[in-house]
Amino acid sequence: MTTRTLQKVIESAATSDGAGVKLRRSLGSSQFQRLDPFLMLDEFGTENPDDYIAGFPNHPHRGFETVTYMLDGHMLHQDHLGNRGDLKSGDVQWMTAGRGIIHSEMPQQLQGRMRGFQLWINLPAREKMKPPAYRDIPASQIPGVDLPGGGRVKVIAGTLVVEGKATPGPIQGLSTDPLYFDVALPARAAFAHPIPPDYNAFLYVYEGGVDVGPAGAARVLKMRSAGVLSAGDVMAVTAGAQGARFILLAGKPIKEPVVQYGPFVMNTHEEIEQAVRDYQSGELTRV
Ligand code: FE2
């Protein structure tokens, strides 16, 4: 059994997107900071409504999936198909853009804290042009499991196994087979979990800090940083003196060329040009 070590740290950087929403981007801050099949991770977290109130008005996507996880706040999603979803604290929206979607993501609160993540997961070539779809997963459908050594894990995608007991999350059976856990640990508590050896994995610490890797060779991963893990079949962390909250992501790499132009992620430049033409002509969302 090989415990994965901390191979690379991607510190998040402040940026803005949409109509001026302030956020912190780690994965995806450049084309060299992706981890197949994960394209991008944004953390949004602020007490100041001016940082989020303008939201993300209508914009297109093609060729991948977006996963929004709200820790705190209230966001309304609407798309060109007439779908409408109300995302509140603890809820997840899993959207497959496929061949094309035009949607808006707008905060529904005028004050208070807005906090959460948006993750982009790539689709393999054979699925990039499939019909768009999305799932709203209320917090009540996301299982939470208490850890024997203290702490708690919410299982958003994939299956958690603790002391031989399997807890499947609501998202299963995708071709990238993603694992998406939200983990909270008290000070000095440990958490370890198997990850298939051929999957890429990273964690993103949003409170406190963790030591990543096997005992004796662990490295510190600080808050607001993504830690890419080396190959191995188990991930293992220990929370620092302040405890820790982090998300853990793992997935099966697609191993195809990635060409991204803003909200379009395809395999070739020609496909990107086609996506832009389709957006301009209305073909992107023609049913
Ligand atoms: Fe979007």
How close is the Cα of 104 to the center of ligand 1, in Å? 7
How close is the Cα of 229 to the center of ligand 1, in Å? 27
- Across the chain, mean pLDDT equals 95
8: nearest Cα among 203, 244, 256 = 203
Return the bridge partners of 41, or none: 119
Question: What pLDDT score does 287 carry?
Answer: 65
**What band does 89 get if pLDDT is binned at 50, 70 and 90?**
very high
Query: Strand, helix or coil at 156?
Result: strand
Q: In what order do the strands lie in the sheet with 21-25?
A: 13-17, 21-25, 38-46, 114-122, 64-72, 92-96, 133-137
Backbone phi, then psi, for 31, in 5-degree steps? Answer: -65, -15
Question: What pLDDT score does 240 carry?
Answer: 96
Mean pLDDT of 154-173: 97
Question: What is the Cα–Cα distance from 201 to 212, expressed in whole angstroms?
Answer: 12
How close is the Cα of 174 to the center of ligand 1, in Å? 20
How close is the Cα of 175 to the center of ligand 1, in Å? 21
How close is the Cα of 230 to the center of ligand 1, in Å? 30
For residue 3, the tally of other CB atoms under 10 A from its CB is 18
204: nearest Cα among 218, 224, 188, 183 = 224
Residue 114 has pLDDT above 80, yes or no: yes
pLDDT tens figures, 166-198:
999 999 999 999 999 999 999 999 999 999 999
How much of the chain, in percent, has pLDDT values that exceed 70? 100
DSSP state of 256: S
Kindly report the pTM of this predicted structure: 0.96
Residue 110 has pLDDT above 80, yes or no: no
Query: Strand, helix or coil at 56?
Result: strand
How close is the Cα of 60 to the center of ligand 1, in Å? 7
pLDDT tens figures, 14-47:
999 998 899 999 999 988 899 999 999 999 988 8
Report, at the CATH architecture level, how domain 6-251 is classified. Answer: Sandwich (2.60)
Question: What pLDDT score does 286 carry?
Answer: 79
Which tokens in the block code for residue 14?
A: 């402040």
How close is the Cα of 105 to the center of ligand 1, in Å? 7
Mean pLDDT of 133-148: 96
Q: Where are the alpha helices (DSSP H) in 91-250?
A: none
**What band does 270 get if pLDDT is binned at 50, 70 and 90?**
very high
Question: What pLDDT score does 92 carry?
Answer: 97
pLDDT tens figures, 41-88:
999 988 888 888 899 999 999 999 999 999 999 999 999 989 999 999
**Cis (ω within 30 of 0) for the bond into 194?**
no
Instruction: Break the chain into its structural domains and give their ranges.
Output: 6-251
Mean pLDDT of 90-109: 94
